[in-house]
Structure 1
Amino acid sequence: MECEAAVSCHDVTLAIGGRTVLSDVCLSVEAGSFVGLFGPNGAGKTTFLRALLGLVPVLSGEMTLFGASVTRGNRGVGYMPQSRTPNGGMLTGRDLLASGLSGEKWGLPRVSREGSAEVEAALEAVDAASLGGRRLGSLSGGERQRLLIAQTLLGSPRLLLLDEPLASLDPVRMREVALLLREVARKRGMTVICSAHDISPLMGVMDTVLCLVRGRARIGPVDEVVTGPVLSELYGAQVEVCHAPSGRVLVSADGL
């Protein structure tokens, strides 16, 4: 029995401002997988994620989510954008999540009992219950990331799209957040597509790698794509992949 595809692209071409970003992309993402999305700046990572949200139209080809056409406002998809500044002054962690319950309205909504329960469940899922009552301005970068991840869980999405969730974190926090994402995804049975510049923090977390470069896409298991020759060809630079005795895989190159 074949596994359901969370994402399917058949000869998909995407363009922004008249410039073709991705051409004739064909790929399938298995439901329940954790996909690491990589590529140089301008390769189309954010454009691809926004297309899955229905925010960037497909110029040609077909793109589907769980067998259905992509639509804007799909509540089965959680999204964490690249640009995010949850400072909020007097707002607390719970306020941040509550605002995500009715994102189409200005200001903080009146939260129902069911909504409050959903907020608490999302906080618990990322081990952030203790952050709910704290003001956003008092939180560290890693703590804010936990709250932003919790916000994407509202509505119990089947697919989680994360645009650079590890950005601006130190190496230790990068790894902590990556492991947290894997744990939450497994417990909730979600499919995750997580873009990043640094491959190393996602090693052992992702099971699939999707690389976008020069308008093309390459997808496959980690051990097939994360190799020196493949990454060197994709990035146009010398990349070394080292297997440590501990089982960790280390990727080193300028810009990776």
Structure 2
Amino acid sequence: MQTDSKEEDAIVLVNAAARRGGREIWSHGSFTIPSGTITAIVGTNGAGKTTLMQTELGLLPLAAGSIQVLGQPAGKESDRIGYVPQSYTSEVDANLTVEQSVLLGVNGTRFGARPTSSAERRQAHQAMTFTGIEDRANSRLSELSGGLRQRVAIAQALACDPLLLMLDEPLANLDLASQRETVHVLARLNRQLGMTIQVVAHDLNMLLPILDGAVYLLDGHPHYAGIHDLLDSDLLTHLYGTQVEVVSTPQGEMFISPSTDETAQGSHDLHRPTEIVQEHHHQARPSAAEGRRS
């Protein structure tokens, strides 16, 4: 797999607004997401997280403003974007083998209409190797756990050699071990290939160690914040509508936690967002240019 070494902003919104069924979902979205970063889209249920990703993909026209993705209007560079929808694991044909499913990412609707070329098969196997499922190539999807099927979905999205990978709730309905495995795959894609990744997420905790920032939907508007600014108790409390703390454990792990009573809070080792990020987020994290391969 290869990535483009050209530096450019991955996603740019200018005064963007989205509507569904005559109702405004969000408006006044103006921000830039740099290439080579991992970004979450977060917000409460119904805030418009999936809607935002769909507008970026060009699947839903904007009501106002503009979106550019990989330097072009949304929808114009779909062949350079890998997309994993939230419904993948439930809607894909469970009788397909892992290899057949991943090959769909290479030849798409042409699958089954003609013999698969050796080059296409190599491309699919590179994606399977990178996601750690090459040994399950001949297994049927119905035989796999939810975590393995999620990695199949990611491999399928990678098979087209994308510059941008977009995933809608990839950790939903997965057990803890499967969530960690999925996050490790995303981290490797970013660090080794310099791939830009955007993830719709309900819970940030599992993703925190790999995030560069997040788009958060608050008060009817999408905003972008770097990880330093995102890990702010006041901001997260406003975002989630309940008292939230940013907590660091003595072992150096960090997480976002709902506040408990005053006594319980006393045992928490609380730090400023910048302290947490400087300590844990950028350890051995190469720049986007260093991570890319020609």
TM-score (norm 1): 0.92
Q: Aligned letter for 1:4? A: E
CA drift of 1:73 comes to: 6.5
218, 226, 232: which one aligns with 1:221: 226
Aligned structure 1 segments of 4 or more residues deviating by more than 6 angstroms = none
1:156 paired with 2:156, answer: no
Give, in whole Å, the separation in 1 of the partners of 2:80 and 2:65. Answer: 22
Alignment match, 1:140:
145
Indicate the residue corresponding to 2:69 in structure 1. 65
The question of 1:51 aligning with 2:55 is answered yes
Identity percentage over the alignment? 33
- Structure number with greater Rg is 2
- CA distance 1:126–1:251, change in 2 (3 Å): same
Does the 8 A contact of 1:92 with 1:136 survive in 2? Answer: yes
Look up the SS of the partner of 2:78 in the other structure.
coil
- 3-state SS, counterpart of residue 103 of structure 1: helix
RMSD value over aligned CA atoms? 1.8
Match of 1:30 among 34, 38, 48: 34
1:166 and 2:171 equivalent?
yes
Which residue of structure 1 aligns with residue 268 of structure 2? none
Name which of structure 1's ranges 82-91 and 203-212 shifts more when overlaid on structure 2: 82-91
Q: Kindly indicate which of the two structures has a greater share of residues assigned to helix.
A: 2
Paired residue type of 1:136: L
Q: TM-score, normalised by structure 2?
A: 0.81
Which whole-Å CA distance do the structure 1 matches of 2:231 and 2:149 have between them? 30
Alignment: residue pair count? 252
In the alignment, which of 39, 46, 50 is matched to residue 43 of structure 2? 39
Following TM superposition, by how much is the alpha carbon of 1:218 offset from its aligned partner in structure 2, in angstroms?
2.2
Distance 2:209 2:216 in 1: 17
Q: Are residues 57 and 6 of structure 1, via their aligned partners in 2, closer, same or farther at CA, if it must alter by over 3 Å?
A: same
Structure 1 residue 208, shift from structure 2 partner: 0.9
Shift of 1:34: 0.3
Aligned in 2, Cα 1:22/1:105: closer, same or farther, shift over 3 Å?
A: farther
Q: For the structure 1 residues 234 and 89, does the alpha-carbon distance in structure 2 shift closer, same or farther, using more than 3 Å as the test?
A: closer
| Structure 2 unmatched ranges of 5 or more | 1-6, 260-294
SS in 1 for 2:68: strand
**Where does the alignment leave 5 or more consecutive residues of structure 1 unmatched?**
none
Question: Which of the numbers 56, 75, 81 marks the counterpart of 1:77?
Answer: 81
Name the residue aligned to 2:238: 233
1:18 Cα shift? 1.1
**Contact 1:12/1:63 (<8 A) preserved:** yes
State how 1:237-252 maps to structure 2 within 5 Å.
Answer: 237-252=242-257
- Aligned CA distance change for structure 1 residues 73 and 64 (closer, same or farther; 3 Å): closer
Per the alignment, residue 114 of structure 1 pairs with 119
Which residue pairs with 2:275 in the alignment? Answer: none
AA partner of residue 69 (structure 1):
P
CA contact (8 A) 1:99 1:107 kept: no
Question: Judging changes above 3 Å, is the alpha-carbon distance between structure 1 residues 109 and 25 closer, same or farther for their aligned structure 2 residues?
Answer: farther
**Whole-angstrom CA distance in 2 between matches of 1:109 and 1:40:** 45
Q: Secondary structure at the match of 2:187?
A: helix
Task: Tell me the SS of whatever aligns to 1:100.
Answer: helix
Amino acid of the structure 1 residue aligned with 2:143:
S
Judge which range, 89-98 or 8-17, deviates more. 89-98
